[in-house]
Amino acid sequence: MKVGIIGGKGLMGSFFSDFFRKNNNEVIISDKDTTIKPIEVASNCDIVVLSVPISVTPDLIREVGPYVKENSLLCDLTSIKKEPVELMLKYSRSSVVGLHPLFGPGIKDIKNQVIVMCKGRGDNWYSWLKETFINSGAKIKESTPEQHDKMMAIIQGLTHFTFITITHVLKDLGVDVKESLEYSSPIYRLRIDMISRILNQNPELYADIEILNKETKNVIKKYIKNVKKLYKLIKKQDKEDFIKYFQEASNYMGETKIRAEERTNKILNFISEI
């Protein structure tokens, strides 16, 4: 296949350029500093992959969508799926698949990594792409664009929101993070590592994830509501209701918390060793 990746010099674009080459496809790249332009890629490739920031994806779809051949495939790699899939369906005649790789470009290969696939139009291309990923060891989660965005508002939106706010709490309190690690339990160290990992990334990407996913606002409102409720219990020194509130959360997690303790024990032991 001839695969065209618009934004192919970016981190994720480069990853998928290598991936498709390893799977015996010809790859053509278009980026800001290439002589090959997006419309040229769209007009001449069997598979057109959009690997650009979330904020510019809608305009790029409008630009190149009409040029993608009817018997070709148009797909994107953004963290939001509802609007991109709708626009790809509207502005192209081709097959359409919305993709969201749930990993960063720093991984060595795609084995055991999760890719969300949202079918837009065309069964044959969808099946071919799914089989290509599975044959390389990837784990596929099939979803509708709407369900994907609802889940990402929790998995990404809520997580990043809490990480950023925790860091600002430390900042407001004047906490020396390095010194705090001298007091830390393995759990605290792991949390600081995860927060720091996110804050070492491109802030524009995280702004888009938080702001452009329309589902995120409702999730954050629920979070703030529960923060206030828990704070009220602590302020009142209401131990009985705190325990009840804690137990409600524990019951909701069910068997997940048992398996989680087993997994995290291995992680924490590894952290202690290093």
Domain boundary among 95, 122, 143: 143
Question: Are 54 and 120 found together in one domain?
Answer: yes
Q: Identify whether 248 is part of a domain.
A: no
**Cα 263 to chain centroid, rounded:** 22
What sign has the CA pseudo-torsion 229, 214, 204, 120?
Answer: positive
206: containing domain:
147-237
- For residue 22, the one-letter residue type is K
Residues 171 and 46 placed together within one structural domain of the fold: no
Place of tokens 């994907």: 148
* CATH number of the CATH domain containing 210: 1.10.3660
114 and 9, same domain (yes or no)? yes
pLDDT above 70 coverage of the chain, percent? 100
The residues facing 6 across adjacent strands are 30, 50
Angstrom distance (rounded) from CA 153 to CA 209: 8
Q: How many residues does the chain have?
A: 274
Q: What are 46-60's pLDDT values in tens digits? A: 999 999 999 999 999
Segment 156-174, tens digit of pLDDT? 999 999 999 999 999 999 9
Reduced to 3 states (helix: H, G, I; strand: E, B; else coil), residue 122 is coil
Residue 274 lies in a domain: no
Task: Give 6-36 pLDDT, tens digit per residue.
Answer: 999 999 999 999 999 999 999 999 999 999 9
Domain presence at residue 37: yes
CA 47 to chain centre: 22
Name the H helices within the chain. Answer: 11-22, 38-44, 57-64, 82-91, 123-135, 145-152, 159-172, 177-182, 186-199, 203-212, 216-235, 239-253, 256-273
- 130 and 152, same structural domain? no
- Residues 126, 28 share a domain: yes
